[in-house]
């Protein structure tokens, strides 16, 4: 790799609230448990739907991260975003007092933003009219509330944006924040994704298009990336935020360093709103462009954290795309899809998986693909069934593919 004169960007903090654990240590412990968090939905009555399972966060207490006034003003989606940002800053041992906050920013991703909160307001409107609505509705429903509330909470006046590019949103947020720091537009960025989609209307919409698993009698095995019997994704909720920091600055303050972010790119299939392009060429192109951005060769990559949504078309198409990029080296790669643990948190998934990659690089263990019992012949790579694998790859790739044909890739390097 030749990094030239570009500023280098490292991950110095990880904050997460997920169905398998909270904070960096909780997320890692959840992965080490090798157990799925998918259960029958309890947030609402799932009986009317084809799919009745999801990955819910069992123990999120916003009061642990927000004062009472702020907690009341934020819906669950924004609560998750701000809470993860606080956890990430603490993990990075980063105190903001005395910092030039014009050089600190936030970038987030979310497919749906505060849609679930808006859905909950509809009965109030029907019963009481406009006066029945929560006054915060207009400020809670748009996805940009994620990065804006983080900025307000911590006084960050640098670059700020939230994208809503479906299931690739979190990966795009982290990648664009990486470019902001690398290009010198900021020194520190809080970047990630947040999603709180578990509400009847949203759930029904995805269920009706037959995108979700109907393995209702055995929820823990429903999300099964690359398995021949996969039948759809499992909806989840969650959030993750990474602290991305200019490397020299991080080293100077003695910050903990998980990994280095070295490349990012995204493309579009321009093919279909839900189905991936069958030849996988634009997914492959996203990976190639990200590797070019990283000044890395395919042969340097040792692990791919796959999008691995557990849908019939996605997993086989992603396998095809990986083969196009890596050639014979594809069969020497470790590949795992980690959504079997925590479901598919839509726009937050890429951020959660970027956090997993950073943790894996620091701790030297690659998590398995849960529930991979009978590999699909079309998904014939080393997809890490069983217990995972101790490993210390130099370079890892994290993929996220979303509705609308969005393909996004991050490249990280061992610190």
What is the rounded average pLDDT for all residues in the chain? Answer: 96
Contacts of 93 (CB under 8 A, 6+ apart): 12, 13, 255, 256
Residue 408: its H or E element: strand 406-414
**Whether 141 contacts 114, CB under 8 Å:** yes
* pLDDT exceeds cutoff 70 at 4: no
Residue holding tokens 């537009």? Answer: 185
Q: How does DSSP assign 239-289, residue by residue?
A: EEEEEEEEHHHHHHTT----EEEEEEEEEE--S-SSSPPTT-HHHHHHHHH
Place of tokens 């030749």: 2
* pTM for the predicted model, two decimal places: 0.97
Q: Residue 6's pLDDT is what?
A: 79
Name the token pair of 376: 């699909």
pLDDT digits (tens, 9 = 90+) for 138-159: 989 999 999 999 999 999 999 9
* 180 sits in which H/E element: helix 169-182
Question: Structure tokens of 91?
Answer: 């993990």
pLDDT tier, 5 (very low <50, low <70, confident <90, very high otherwise): low
Active site residues: 167, 307, 344
> Which superfamily is assigned to 9-410 in CATH?
Thiolase/Chalcone synthase (3.40.47.10)
- Distance in angstroms (rounded) separating the CA atoms of residues 62 and 84: 10
Which residues make Cβ contacts (< 8 Å) with residue 110, sequence separation at least 6? Answer: 77, 81, 143, 146, 162, 164, 169, 193, 194, 195, 346, 347, 348
Q: Is the pLDDT at 3 greater than 70, yes or no?
A: no
Answer whether residue 2 shows pLDDT above 60.
Answer: no
The partner residues of 315 in beta bridges, in order of sequence, read none
220/228 Cα distance (integer angstroms) = 16
Question: Which residue ranges make up each domain of the chain?
Answer: 9-410
pLDDT tens readout for residues 326-356:
999 999 999 999 999 999 999 999 999 999 9
Q: In Å, what is the CA distance from 60 to each residue of 70, 242, 339, 381?
A: 16, 19, 19, 36
d(CA 396, CA 377): 24
């Amino acid at each position: 790799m030749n990094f030239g004169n570009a500023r280098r960007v490292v991950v110095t903090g990880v904050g997460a609230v997920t169905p398998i654990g909270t904070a960096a240590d909780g997320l890692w412990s959840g992965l080490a448990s090798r157990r799925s968090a998918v259960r029958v939905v309890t947030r609402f009555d799932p009986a009317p739907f084809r799919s009745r399972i999801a990955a819910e966060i069992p123990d999120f207490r916003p009061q642990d991260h927000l004062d009472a006034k702020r907690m009341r003003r934020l819906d669950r989606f924004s609560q998750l975003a701000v809470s993860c940002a606080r956890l990430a800053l603490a993990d990075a041992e980063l105190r903001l007092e005395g910092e030039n906050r014009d050089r600190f920013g936030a970038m987030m991703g979310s497919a749906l933003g505060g849609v679930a909160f808006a859905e909950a307001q509809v009965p109030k409107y029907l019963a009481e009219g406009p006066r029945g609505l929560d006054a915060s509705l207009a400020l809670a429903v748009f996805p940009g509330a994620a990065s804006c509330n983080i900025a307000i909470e911590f006084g960050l006046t640098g670059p700020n944006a939230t994208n809503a590019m479906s299931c690739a949103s979190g990966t795009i947020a982290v990648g664009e924040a990486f470019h902001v720091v690398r290009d010198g537009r900021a020194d520190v960025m809080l970047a990630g994704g947040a999603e709180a989609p578990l509400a009847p209307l949203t759930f029904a919409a995805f269920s009706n298009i037959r995108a979700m698993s109907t393995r209702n009698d055995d929820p823990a095995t429903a999300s099964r990336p690359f398995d021949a019997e996969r039948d759809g994704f499992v909806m989840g909720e969650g959030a993750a935020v990474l602290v991305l920091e200019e490397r020299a600055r991080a080293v100077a303050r003695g910050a903990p360093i998980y990994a280095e972010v070295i490349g990012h790119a995204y493309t579009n299939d321009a093919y279909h709103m839900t189905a991936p392009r069958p030849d996988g060429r634009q997914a492959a192109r996203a990976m190639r462009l990200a590797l070019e951005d990283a000044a890395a060769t395919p042969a340097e990559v040792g692990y791919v954290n796959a999008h691995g949504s557990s849908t019939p078309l996605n997993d086989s198409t992603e396998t095809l795309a990986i083969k196009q990029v890596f050639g014979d080296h594809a069969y020497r790669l470790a590949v795992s899809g980690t959504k079997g643990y925590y479901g598919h948190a839509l726009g937050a998934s890429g951020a959660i998986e970027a956090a997993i990659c950073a943790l894996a690089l620091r701790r030297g263990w690659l998590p398995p693909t849960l529930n991979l019992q009978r590999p699909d012949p079309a998904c014939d790579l080393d997809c890490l069934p069983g217990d995972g694998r101790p490993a210390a790859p130099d370079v890892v790739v994290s993929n996220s593919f979303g509705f609308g044909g969005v393909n996004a890739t991050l490249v990280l390097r061992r610190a």
